[in-house]
Copies of this chain bind each other. A is one copy, B any other.
Amino acid sequence: MAQIMTPPRGFENAEFEIRTKNTQSQMAKIGLTGMLLMSEADVRYFTGFHTLFWQSPTRPWFVFIPSSGKPIAVIPEIGADLMRRSWLDDIRTWSAPAPDDDGISLLTELLSPLASNGATLGIMKGHETGLRMPLGDWERLIDGLPGLQIGDATGLVQELRMVKSKAEIEKLAHICAIGSATFDRVPEVISAGMPLENVFRSFRQEALAQGADDAPYVVGGAARGGYADVISPPTQRPLQAGDVLMIDTGCTWDGYFCDFDRNWAIGPAIDDARRAYDVLWRATEAGIAAARPGATCRELFYAMSAVIAEMDDSGGDIGRLGHGLGMQLTEQPSHAAFDTTVLKENMVLTLEPSLSYGKGLMMVHEENIVVTPQGGHLLTTRADSELPVI
């Protein structure tokens, strides 16, 4: 196991305080008297509440951000002990699951003063969000609060979360280092003849051995000359000479993700694959150079796509050439022509150029960076400049 310096787990209470105050100051600007959050990442961002229990879809969890003061948790009793260890003081619980009243009467009581005043409650209802509670319960909650206005807080919360704190960057750097160490071991633990399923299993075991808390996201492909999609689970087909293998991973440490991939040729690769790799490697270089505060995501996209166009003008349609990274495998913003988000120092991003070649083959190359005035600072160990051969 590589010796990787481990940062402290969790955050100081002061960090949650700053996040909350910054949010409340933005809420005041757009006229939100309170905000109701319910996704794993949003709840954790304001409370530090960190549990794998979100994998159970049965129970909803709520955090209310008032216009001033600490957040208020409205959560199932099963999480009370853990939430009491957070910086919150006001934790309201019910015995969940309770199909007839899964937190709705507690929320109604909490939100009634806002409704009486005709105030506006912010919720996350925009791009890249979901409603992590039954839609029927949401409708019932709102029907029971006449006078309450609903505002969209998506932009506000996403904008704050996009820029990472020093402690968050330490965690992200740590898991990227673990991911890099894991990829370094791949040529030693895999070989031609190994079924792809076993390749992925070995990768997960190695990621844990290197210090990852988990490797929840391991996808990729391997086929002669290249692969055709980038989100499939592994098949049992053995690796063969002439294959191009890609593994894309989201490993986690203390609730933060890395998200990057590596490509290898199993034995000598066809020229097209080597050329695709070279183009994507240089597209990433262009992305690293372009990732400066003040540039837009659109400009970052064009910096990379200009290089990709040397070989392919369709782009290998994965929809964008990278994205934000943090508590989620994929976060705002998107490196795409539609995204005019202005980059800020300490945003953590993936650079993920892709292209199509041959008959339906594609290649994806990915690194993780933090935005600095000097351009993207790599959190991952830069991939070889030529397609490596196993």
Contact = CB atoms under 8 A, between A and B. Distances in A.
A130 B132 contact: yes
A345 interface: no
Contacts of A135: 123, 125, 129-131, 138
Nearest to A127: B99
B219 A52 contact: yes
A53 B231 contact: yes
A51 B130 contact: no
Interface stretch (A26-34, A76-84, A164-172, A275-283): A76-84
Interface in A92-148: 95-100, 102, 123, 125-136, 138-139
Interface stretch (A184-192, A263-271, A328-336): A328-336
A82 B232 contact: yes
Interface in A199-239: 201, 204-205, 208-209, 213-219, 228-233, 236
Given A82-B231, A208-B205, A131 B128 contact: no
B130 A95 contact: no
Nearest to A229: B81
B336 A97 contact: yes
Q: Which of under 10, 10 to 19, 20 to 34, or 35 or more describes the interface residues of A? A: 35 or more
Contacts of A3: none
Interface in A318-356: 318-320, 323, 328-330, 334, 336, 338-339
Contacts of A318: 77-78
A75 to B, nearest CB: 11
Interface in A66-80: 76-80
A12 interface: no
19 contacts: A50-B233, A51-B233, A52-B233, A55-B250, A58-B128, A58-B323, A77-B317, A78-B319, A95-B319, A97-B334, A99-B338, A125-B135, A129-B134, A130-B132, A130-B133, A130-B134, A130-B135, A204-B208, A216-B216
Interface of A: 9, 39, 50-53, 55-59, 76-82, 95-100, 102, 123, 125-136, 138-139, 152, 154, 201, 204-205, 208-209, 213-219, 228-233, 236, 250, 317-320, 323, 328-330, 334, 336, 338-339, 360
Given A57-B129, A99-B338, A125-B134, 5 more contacts: A51-B233, A78-B317, A81-B360, A100-B338, A130-B130
Interface pairs A-B: 10 shortest CB-CB = A81-B229, A131-B131, A125-B135, A53-B231, A56-B330, A125-B136, A99-B127, A58-B330, A77-B317, A51-B231
